[in-house]
Amino acid sequence: MIVNAYAASEKNGPLKPFQYELGPIGPQDVDISVEHCGICHSDLSMLQNEWEMTAYPFVPGHEVTGTVAAVGAQVTHVAVGDRVGLGWHAGYCMTCQECLDGHHNMCATAAGTIVGRHGGFADTVRARGASVIRLPEGIDSSKAGPLFCGGITVFNPFVQYEIPPTARVGVMGIGGLGHLALQFAHAWGCRVTAFTSSGSKQAEALKLGAHDTINSRDPAAIATARGQFDLLLCTVNVRLDWNAYLATLKPRGRLHFLGVQTEPLDLNMIPMLFGQLSVSSSPVGSPGTIARMLTFCDTHGINAVTEHFPMSRVNEALAHLHEGKARYRIVLDRD
Amino acid sequence: MIVNAYAASEKNGPLKPFQYELGPIGPQDVDISVEHCGICHSDLSMLQNEWEMTAYPFVPGHEVTGTVAAVGAQVTHVAVGDRVGLGWHAGYCMTCQECLDGHHNMCATAAGTIVGRHGGFADTVRARGASVIRLPEGIDSSKAGPLFCGGITVFNPFVQYEIPPTARVGVMGIGGLGHLALQFAHAWGCRVTAFTSSGSKQAEALKLGAHDTINSRDPAAIATARGQFDLLLCTVNVRLDWNAYLATLKPRGRLHFLGVQTEPLDLNMIPMLFGQLSVSSSPVGSPGTIARMLTFCDTHGINAVTEHFPMSRVNEALAHLHEGKARYRIVLDRD
């Protein structure tokens, strides 16, 4: 079977139509007929080979929604025609300690949807069983793609750290991840504060679920929040004054990083010691947590706020993201 | 009532006999007739005014065991003659959120036994109610003082982070804290590795409960432990290659600091992200956790390994600690 995709043939090169042969379906494979595919910052990072693991020709796309086109002989949890989604991972070993414990996203040999594989900027994408997750009936597949990477990334810490609804949560950076974090934290029952440097985003953050906002470029404003937060979710990928943010945590609070910080953190230990603070980070989430998130989104009417481009205009869409103009997540629609 | 104590009259000065008037007992006060008092590194730090909160004349000592000499009118949980202990905290507000939640050691207005108060290098020390904890019958009071600060410091993370007995635990630094951490981790049911640079301590670590040891100055040895630990307890107060230690954590592992690190941590985020790692720190523990620890020590026969000096030779004892010669915790016995 021939797949019609968009691929870059070299680092940072433009995406061009690209065809490849899919080969016979394996017993645990699921082929998805792609209808929509979100664009994530990590598609750009991979395109630029920032993490030195990109293979060219490179087909980005790991926020896929569509319908099941074919299933391998051993696949039982989805059937042809089902509405499904696919995120960062396209398969897990299913037998390591982490997989057995339900932490498949920690599987050392998990397959990345766009790492040595061709992704979802295409009419078809193939993945292995457990990574393909059915969409609840109430979920709009045209907006759901971003939940499978950006969404699960910010939803996962609520589950991992058993954040109670009585927690006060701060979201640092209101973009593709942050605008979903605000909605999740609000629906989770938490009191939510948005940290953003953008005046226009402050108003939007309130609509998305924040109870209040703090100007993230105003040290005095940050200082007024001293000792307020149980959980800070950092979705920015620039260096901030981390110790100023640590000071806004309550005793036993957590500063959790979801964006990739390339510079080492320079954390002062004494406030961490006296406050029993934790600093942590995590990548996406397990398929079980993704399924739970989708149900939660269905219950609470949570959607990504999306801008749409036809897939044939993928380069334009990538430029829009690269320029920081996305409000808040771009989705490619199959032409 | 006159208390006979040992005090420094200036920063880093020698301790000399010092008498002070205790004043009438308050309704929630407990006066302890001191029998033994451990010496902790933080007594030295306070003597040197390292944390800029020392008041002179300064009476160190916050690892007290003894018997109750007098109780205030509202004290009901201990009675005159009871064998008790006292640690870093000599009182809590009892009504803030942290106290109400059982996290008294996070109380913002908790009184430090040697912070603006006179400590346990004395024949008598006064503290407020909940901070004075009864010793279980099987606990030897001559060795139990160090449990009240060094012990609870390393016991507390097992409780706070609900470490399961199936966890693999590494203890970095085998000294006053580390030698107790090894015993706790072993009795907790964990597989235990000691990281130490000292050949003689490697052998002792095995006797104290370590299942194996790693030379903490050998980067190749540390590298062989890649992905092994659920919990690393760092009891050293020198800068190590933290990122090399992070690499020895399993997915979802935790590097937890118990010594005071004065230099900022320089942590690489990418391994933290991919492994969902946490870095954290904590100070001592709550009175509820101290009581639980004492019962655990009683059940498992856990004791500090102590060297003893009569209290009148306190300066000699402090020098012994300062020179790094303590094996593993020094206790002053009342003359």
Assess whether B173 and B297 both reside in one domain: no
Task: Show which of B238, B258, B281 is a domain's final residue.
Answer: B281
Q: Please give the pLDDT value at position B263.
A: 86
Contact B277 A275 (CB under 8 A): no
DSSP A106: G
| Phi (first) and psi of residue B230, to 5 degrees | -85, -35
Assess whether A125 and A174 both reside in one domain: no
Read off the pLDDT of residues B76-109 as tens digits, 9 standing for 90 and up. 999 999 999 999 999 999 999 999 999 999 999 9
B127 closest CA partner among B109, B148, B111: B111
Contact B279 A267 (CB under 8 A): yes
Assess whether B168 and B81 both reside in one domain: no
Q: Please give the pLDDT value at position B92.
A: 98
A268 touches chain B (CB under 8 A): yes
Q: Please give the pLDDT value at position B17.
A: 98
Return the sign of the alpha-carbon dihedral for residues B105, B109, B113, B114.
positive
Q: Please give the pLDDT value at position A106.
A: 98
Assess whether B214 and B241 both reside in one domain: yes
- Find chain A residues with C-beta within 8 A of B272's C-beta: 257, 280-281
Average pLDDT over residues B318-330: 95
Residue span of the structural domain in which B116 resides: 2-149+284-333
> Considering CB atoms only, which of A251, A270, A280 is closest to B103?
A251
B25 within 8 A of B31, measured Cβ to Cβ: yes
- Find chain A residues with C-beta within 8 A of B238's C-beta: none
Whole-angstrom distance, CA of residue B322 vs CA of residue B219? 28
Q: How far is B278 from chain A (nearest CA, A)?
A: 4
Task: Show which of B261, B281, B301 is a domain's final residue.
Answer: B281
Taking only the tens of pLDDT, chain A with its 335 residues reads: 999 999 999 999 999 999 999 999 999 999 999 999 999 999 999 999 999 999 999 999 999 999 999 999 999 999 999 999 999 999 999 999 999 999 999 999 999 999 999 999 999 999 999 999 999 999 999 999 999 999 999 999 999 999 999 999 999 999 999 999 999 999 999 999 999 998 889 999 999 999 999 999 999 999 999 999 999 999 998 889 999 999 999 999 999 999 778 888 889 998 999 999 999 999 999 999 999 999 999 999 999 999 999 999 999 999 999 999 999 999 999 99
Contact B282 A273 (CB under 8 A): yes
Assess whether B159 and B268 both reside in one domain: yes
> Considering CB atoms only, which of B270, B277, B283 is closest to A273?
B283
In one letter, which amino acid is A197?
A: S
Nearest residue on chain B to A257, alpha-carbon basis = B273
| Phi (first) and psi of residue B204, to 5 degrees | -70, -35
Give me the total of CB pairs closer than 8 Å, taking one residue from chain A and one from chain B.
95
Assess whether A213 and A69 both reside in one domain: no
Q: At what angle do helices A178-187 and A287-300 cross, to 10 degrees?
A: 70
> Considering CB atoms only, which of B251, B263, B278 is closest to A98?
B251
Whole-angstrom distance, CA of residue A331 vs CA of residue A310? 8
> Considering CB atoms only, which of A257, A267, A281 is closest to B265?
A267
- Find chain B residues with C-beta within 8 A of A260's C-beta: 269-270, 273
A4 touches chain B (CB under 8 A): no
Evaluate if pTM is beyond 0.90. yes
Beta strands in A105-210 (DSSP E): 111-112, 124-128, 133-134, 168-172, 191-196
B269 touches chain A (CB under 8 A): yes
Assess whether A145 and A15 both reside in one domain: yes
Q: How far is A107 from chain B (nearest CA, A)?
A: 9
Contact A279 B276 (CB under 8 A): no
Assess whether A126 and A193 both reside in one domain: no
> Considering CB atoms only, which of A267, A274, A278 is closest to B267?
A267
A266 touches chain B (CB under 8 A): yes
For the stretch B245-248, contacts whose Cβ atoms lie closer than 8 Å and that sit 24 or more positions apart, written own/partner, are B245/B172, B246/B271, B246/B272, B246/B275, B246/B277, B246/B279, B247/B223, B247/B271, B248/B170, B248/B222
Give B18's Cβ-side CA count (13 Å radius): 22
- pLDDT of residue B260 exceeding 80, the answer is no
- Find chain A residues with C-beta within 8 A of B266's C-beta: 264-266
Assess whether B13 and B133 both reside in one domain: yes
Contact B265 A270 (CB under 8 A): no
- Find chain B residues with C-beta within 8 A of A254's C-beta: 278
Contact B269 A276 (CB under 8 A): no
Contact B274 A283 (CB under 8 A): yes
Contact A278 B276 (CB under 8 A): no
Give A191's Cβ-side CA count (13 Å radius): 7
Assess whether B8 and B134 both reside in one domain: yes
Contact A257 B269 (CB under 8 A): yes
**Domain total in chain B:** 2
B274 touches chain A (CB under 8 A): yes
Assess whether B196 and B260 both reside in one domain: yes
Whole-angstrom distance, CA of residue A225 vs CA of residue A248? 5
Nearest residue on chain B to A99, alpha-carbon basis = B251
A132 within 8 A of A30, measured Cβ to Cβ: yes
In one letter, which amino acid is B111?
A: A
**B 244-263 near A (Cβ less than 8 A):** 251-252, 254, 257, 260-263
Residues 6+ apart with CB under 8 A from B177: B150, B153, B154, B235, B258, B259
A272 touches chain B (CB under 8 A): yes
Q: How far is A250 from chain B (nearest CA, A)?
A: 10
Q: How far is A160 from chain B (nearest CA, A)?
A: 10
Contact A272 B280 (CB under 8 A): yes
Nearest residue on chain A to B96, alpha-carbon basis = A251
CATH of the domain at A271: 3.40.50.720
> Considering CB atoms only, which of B267, B274, B281 is closest to A265?
B267
B111 within 8 A of B128, measured Cβ to Cβ: yes
Largest pairwise CA distance in chain A: 61
> Considering CB atoms only, which of B160, B254, B272 is closest to A281?
B272
Whole-angstrom distance, CA of residue B151 vs CA of residue B23? 31
A12 touches chain B (CB under 8 A): no
Contact A106 B276 (CB under 8 A): yes
Contact B279 A264 (CB under 8 A): no
- The CA angle B222-B225-B227, to the nearest 5 degrees, is 125
- Find chain A residues with C-beta within 8 A of B103's C-beta: 251-252, 276
Assess whether A108 and A251 both reside in one domain: no
Nearest residue on chain B to A270, alpha-carbon basis = B260
CATH of the domain at B23: 3.90.180.10
Average pLDDT over residues B52-67: 98
